[in-house]
Amino acid sequence: MKKLVVQKVSRRYGTVQALDGVSLTIEAGQVHALMGENGAGKSTLIRLLAGLERPDDGSIGLNGDTLLEADPAVMRQAGLRFIHQELHSIPGLSIAENMHLDHPYPTRLGLVDWKALSHAASQALERLDLAHLNPRATMTDLGLGDQMLVRIAATLISSEGAEPWLYVMDEPTAALTAQEADRLFAVIHELTKQGAGVLYVSHRMPEVMRMADCVTVLRDGHHISSRNLSDTNARTVIEDMTGRDLRHLFPPKSAIDPAAPAVLKVRDLEARPIRRANVDLQAGEILGVAGLAGSGRGELLRALIGAIPVQGGQILLDDKPAENTVAESWANGFAYVPRERRTEGLMLRRSISENIALPHLTDLARASIFLDQNRQRGLADKMGKDVLIKATSVKQQCNELSGGNQQKVLFGRALAGQPKVLLLDEPTRGVDIGAKFELYRLIKEMSDNGLAVIIASSDLPELLGLSHRIAIMRDGELAEITETDGLTEADLLARFYHQSAPQVAA
């Protein structure tokens, strides 16, 4: 029986110890779940297995032989295959051609042998019971789920090199609908039946409980536990995952006056993919938005800031209908911190002050026309102090800053216009714990000063620790709003699935 043994591997990036002496053993024929919160070290471990990086310490071995080289080709030769959540497929080419991206095309007389190409593809698809997929159809016609299945089937096309026996799947269901995920599970079952092993990386409890044979939990780069699923339960695993004492990470919540009028009223909002949302928000209140990936968490915020056209319903700010373009939303008192700070947020090669001033240029300009560098810098200096940006000066380029400080620049931008409603999409993703702490203080301070805050996040402790109430999104619908007091992560997770109707592709 083939076996991959990871022994005491460590990996450090700068000052961050991403992995610290982690060991685990993955056997053929088994689904081995790897769980942990964001930043637990799952991705680092995958990069080591993929041969993209070398461990600082420790070893990775196959059947007793050590695989030392940090070389993707060696890992491939060892039979490892990686299925990433971001699918790398070529939309315009056929399924069969996509399956041959990393295999040579069969040829005859130097020309592509289309028949042999389709035949090889359909044979591989059949091995996984995917005969319903036509290898000649273009990839564009497939949903994300089927595209993933095609990628998996592609690994079965025989080529020189070792047969694949271990599949590493990184959050494979993150963008899939429920039915697509079911088809993926069937394929995983088929793979293990044929003797392959799967390292299944996820933080979704129900999937893991359903499929895995054993589960390893990482936390803050440490190996916490490896258990057979028959000896454990969801509760134990969640405790292992979240074990750190979170009481001090979050500032105490302030009470809100229940009689205070609502700043923001959302009435039957419809903005595809948001199907319906109703919520009232008071000054000083922090509302969390939770839900599975694809449930419309971030899209709700995008609809409120005007980045998705509204098809129906109303957004009322101080009882006045809010206009629906992004520019008008900023002017009316909304502020938005997008999820992808590098692509949606910052102009990375521009200075901190330019980044902060961006939505406020007209207000800062003389006679609303001529740019005033001094006023921009003055604003940036002030905001930089308020949000505790660590930089040499506000003239520093944003790509020289750490993730946490980049996020603070976006906070500075959002808060500079003295907004009434602050919209935060995954505000602490990829941010170190120290900056997280400061951002949480900042959010709490602003809300104490009367700012209404909406936070969409996949980080459950964060939602529970910060928000007064949590809105749960299901399939594009704001399904329920619940008080946070007394709520646990498990309760929240259960509500994600509760009454979850068959999902519609977002």
Partner 1 sequence: MIFFIQRFGGLIGMVAVIAFFAISLPDTFLTVRNWLNIAQQISMLTVVAATMTVVMVMGDFDLSVGSMASLAGVVAASLFLQDWSIAGALAMALMVGLAGGLFNGFIVSVLGVLPFVATLATLTIFSGLAFFISDGRTIFGRDIPEAFGNFARSGPEIGTVAERALVLPNLVIVAFVVVFAVWVVLEQTSYGRRLYAIGGNREASKLAGIKVVQLRLTAFAFTGVGAAFAGLMYASRVASANPTQGDGLMLTAIAAVFLGMTLTRDGQPRVLATLAGVVVLGVLDNGLTQMRVDSYVREILVGAIILAAVGLSAIGKGSLLRGLR
Tell me how far apart the alpha carbons of residues 285 and 275 are, in angstroms, rounded to a whole number.
Answer: 24
Classify residue 397 by its DSSP letter.
B
Residues composing the chain: 506
Question: Which residue lies nearer to partner 1 by CB, 98 or 457?
Answer: 98
CB 219 within 8 A of CB 243: yes
CB 396 within 8 A of CB 408: no
CA distance to 56, 250, 395, 421, 444, per residue, from 408 (Å):
32, 17, 15, 17, 14
* 32 Cβ contact list (under 8 Å, min separation 6): 24, 26, 197, 198, 199, 200, 212, 213, 214, 215, 216
Among 63, 66, 140, 233, binds partner 1 (CB under 8 A): 140
- Apex 359 CA angle, 355 and 363, nearest 5: 115
Question: Which residue lies nearer to partner 1 by CB, 167 or 411?
Answer: 167
Among the listed ranges 104-112, 203-211, 275-283, 345-353, the one in contact with partner 1 (CB under 8 A) is: 104-112
Among the listed ranges 91-99, 122-130, 235-243, 447-455, the one in contact with partner 1 (CB under 8 A) is: 91-99
Instruction: Kindly state whether residue 90 participates in binding partner 1, applying the rule CB under 8 A.
Output: yes
Instruction: Kindly state whether residue 91 participates in binding partner 1, applying the rule CB under 8 A.
Output: yes
Tell me how far apart the alpha carbons of residues 225 and 231 are, in angstroms, rounded to a whole number.
Answer: 12
Among 63, 66, 107, 158, binds partner 1 (CB under 8 A): 107
Among the listed ranges 60-68, 106-114, 192-200, 463-471, the one in contact with partner 1 (CB under 8 A) is: 106-114
Among 28, 209, 293, 308, binds partner 1 (CB under 8 A): 308
- State the minimum distance, in angstroms, from the CB of residue 387 to partner 1: 31
- State the minimum distance, in angstroms, from the CB of residue 272 to partner 1: 8
Instruction: Kindly state whether residue 504 participates in binding partner 1, applying the rule CB under 8 A.
Output: no
Instruction: Kindly state whether residue 320 participates in binding partner 1, applying the rule CB under 8 A.
Output: no
Task: List the interface residues with partner 1, window 38-77 (CB under 8 A).
Answer: none
Chain centroid to CA 35: how far?
14
Instruction: Kindly state whether residue 97 participates in binding partner 1, applying the rule CB under 8 A.
Output: yes
Among 14, 92, 252, 486, binds partner 1 (CB under 8 A): 92
Among 2, 12, 119, 272, binds partner 1 (CB under 8 A): 272
Phi, psi of 30 (to 5 degrees): -125, 150
DSSP three-state, residue 92: coil
Instruction: Kindly state whether residue 361 participates in binding partner 1, applying the rule CB under 8 A.
Output: no
Cis peptide upstream of residue 359 (ω within 30 degrees of 0)? no
- State the minimum distance, in angstroms, from the CB of residue 164 to partner 1: 15
Among the listed ranges 20-28, 92-100, 207-215, 250-258, the one in contact with partner 1 (CB under 8 A) is: 92-100
State both tokens at 324.
Answer: 């629906």
Q: Which of 197, 219, 211, 142 is nearest to 175 (CA)?
A: 142
- State the minimum distance, in angstroms, from the CB of residue 308 to partner 1: 8
Q: Could you tell me whether strands 3-13 and 16-27 are parallel, antiparallel, or unpaired per DSSP bridges? A: antiparallel
Among the listed ranges 23-31, 103-111, 284-292, 358-366, the one in contact with partner 1 (CB under 8 A) is: 103-111
| Residue listed under structure tokens 């409890």 | 205
Instruction: Kindly state whether residue 111 participates in binding partner 1, applying the rule CB under 8 A.
Output: yes
Question: Which residue lies nearer to partner 1 by CB, 58 or 143?
Answer: 143
The counts of H helices and E strands in the chain are 17, 22
- State the minimum distance, in angstroms, from the CB of residue 369 to partner 1: 27
DSSP three-state, residue 62: strand
Question: Which residue lies nearer to partner 1 by CB, 114 or 437?
Answer: 114
Which positions lie near partner 1, rule CB under 8 A?
Answer: 88-93, 97, 101-102, 104-105, 107, 110-112, 138, 140, 272, 308-309, 311
